[in-house]
A and B are shown apart, each in its own frame.
Chain A
Amino acid sequence: MFIRMIRGALVRQRGKMFLIAFTIALGASLATAMLNVMLDVGDKVNQELKTYGANITVKPNSSTLLSSLYDVEDEGEQIETAYLNEEDVSKLKTIFWAYNIVDFAPFMKMAVTLEDGNEAEAVGTWFNHHLDLTTGESLDAGVVSLRSWWEVTDGSWIDEQNDPVNTIMVGRMLAVRQGWNAGQTVTLTGPRGSEEVTIAGIYDAGGDEDEQIYAPLDLVQKLNGLDGKVESIEVSAITTPDNDLAKRAAQNPAALSAADYETWYCTAYVSAICYQIQEAIPDAVASAVRQVAESEGSILDKTQLLMILITILSLIGAALGISNLVTASVMERAQEFGLMKAIGAKDYSITGLVMIEILITALVGGVAGYFMGFGFAQLIGHSVFGSAIEMKVMVIPIVVVLIALVTAAGSLPAIRMILRLRPAEVLHGSKT
């Protein structure tokens, strides 16, 4: 009979139950969407912040050590005598946090003499260098993505796969001064000879690079005779904002306790990634570019906190919305409950009936809401970041518990009212 009554209530009051289920579905979808977006926003914003370029630079260790050892004899002319090996660059993708390293490029600077006798600085680097890693992964790394803020005003980016090695890109200021255009052929002279090169593009970097020439690494190595050598590597990595532990570790990882070391090493702190790069590349010093790393950290923290607070607000909103409606709709049925009491129903059986009705409705609404929320989260992900939001499994139990608590809480005042209800009063009709 109990089941029959519940079925009766659910089926015959379809309109009202639908309204409740609908509201619960809305609340659940709100919770699902917001929680998922909140949990994923860190990664998403981090990706966006990669437009600021590298947050780690790697330099040869010996450059500082050697020169400081010999600096007494050194006359202040040639300081940087040490280099990294180009073949070690791909080792970046072998470290523990390899997955977080999204981009990198090696650099080699040299002075070149132009046709008119003027000097300019040429920077050898990767543009979209194709790498096939030992892990089977393959990727394109280089300045095309690492310098995303550059505007190519004439011509196009160098495509390493298709363009010949004798191709360069020229900074806007230098090009204007020299009267160069894309497509033109010029001669560059270095200590080890001259090369005829074609200008693939003119770029506007809005900085010092506007006075430089960017060329494929191989070309610069040929011009200064330093085959297979690089001066520095810029690395763009997705990092976790620093906390106290990370700051202590950055000072001296050896001073950490074993447990702290473990935590630090296995978290994507910029200092941990630097440390791992140093382990992977011999004689290298990796350091955080503070301008990028610190700003990223603070923006990331703020965005996450902001989203958490907005999520909390919308969860409260959803909770109140649901419990409100549940209260309102149970109160509406005062007469029905009065009648049931009058024909001898016990308080607990009415309460049980109401609770089960509501919970069944909540279940239906909650499931529907989860999928709606999935849709909303993807809508947000695609329209804002142009990529899907990862749906975390942990959101499901949170939403379930939330909806259960909220509907139960919403039924409480109604149940109190049922218990106080005097059947005579209700049936008497004084409740107009």
Chain B
Amino acid sequence: MSLLELKDISKIYGELKALDNVSIHVDKGEWVAIMGPSGSGKSTMMNIIGCMDKPSKGQVFLDGVDISKESSRKLTEIRRDKIGLIFQQFHMVNYLTAVENIMVSQYYHSLPDEEEALEALGRVGLRDRAKHLPSQLSGGEQQRVCVARALINHPELILADEPTGNLDEANENIVLDLFRQLHREGTTLIVVTHDPEVAEAAQRTIVLEHGRVAREIINENFQE
């Protein structure tokens, strides 16, 4: 059953077609990587999927609902309720501790619950770092906190933008292991990346070029 479906969407900035008639679909529980060189429309697609932008043309179905015409206010609600975001540059509130950063997400979603937030931190192996400020955490640790933050509200979809872009190999593996774990639990994952290794970890890779879907690759070696 499809969780996300983009139907013939285009995004046009003046003369430039950032996305040109793209259609993709992602099933519930699927792990998909989106790859492509700079300027291929990755970011635009990521923004549209993440409900931070609207297509100029076409429809976006999330969980069977067309969200392409929703107001930005409604989009914020959808993002809050259904999507967990992970960024390349981590983006933590720098004056809040690790656990508090997770609780911010809970706060906007429903109710902050410190126990639950600590549990989430435990899942990414950082329970003992709960009271540390972002400046006291390494890059890998920060990204793991962000993963914990993304999954705290049990989103339908986790959308990660170059999640390993700023990480060394060891941390990259930790993060990918976390993704595998989430996948086993049935979470839908969309990972935007230009790193083939990260893409290979996914079940399926969609390659974008010049605003179009160039090809799709099914990963034969995918390990459950």
Contact = CB atoms under 8 A, between A and B. Distances in A.
- Judged by CB atoms under 8 Å, the answer to whether A and B touch is yes
Interface of A: 425, 428-432
Contacts of A430: 90, 92, 94, 134-135, 142
B91 A429 contact: yes
B134 A425 contact: no
Nearest to A428: B139
B167 to A, nearest CB: 11
A431 to B, nearest CB: 6
A71 to B, nearest CB: 93
A68 to B, nearest CB: 89
Main secondary structure of the interface of A (DSSP, over half): loop
A432 B166 contact: no
Size bracket, chain B contacts: 10 to 19
B24 interface: no
Contacts of A429: 89-91, 166
Contacts of A428: 139, 166
B134 to A, nearest CB: 5
- Closest 8 interchain pairs by CB? A429-B89, A432-B94, A430-B134, A432-B91, A430-B135, A432-B92, A432-B93, A429-B90
Contacts, number: 19
A319 to B, nearest CB: 28
A431 B95 CA distance: 10
A425 to B, nearest CB: 7
Interface string B113-146: 0000000000000000000001100010010000
A429 B162 CA distance: 14
Contacts of B92: 430, 432
B90 A425 contact: no
Contacts of B94: 430-432
Interface string B78-92: 000000000001111
A297 to B, nearest CB: 58
Interface in B51-99: 89-94
A429 B135 CA distance: 10
B66 to A, nearest CB: 33
Contacts of A431: 94
Nearest to A432: B94
8 contacts: A425-B135, A428-B139, A428-B166, A430-B94, A430-B134, A430-B142, A432-B93, A432-B94
A431 B89 CA distance: 10
A309 to B, nearest CB: 39
Contacts of B91: 429, 432
A431 B90 CA distance: 10
B134 A432 contact: yes
A425 B139 CA distance: 10
From A425, A429, A431, residue with most partner B Cβ within 10 Å? A429
Nearest to B91: A432
A429 B142 CA distance: 11
Contacts of B134: 430, 432
Contacts of B166: 428-429
Nearest to B137: A430
A87 to B, nearest CB: 86
A429 B94 CA distance: 10
A428 B91 CA distance: 10
Interface in B149-174: 166
A369 to B, nearest CB: 35
Nearest to A429: B89
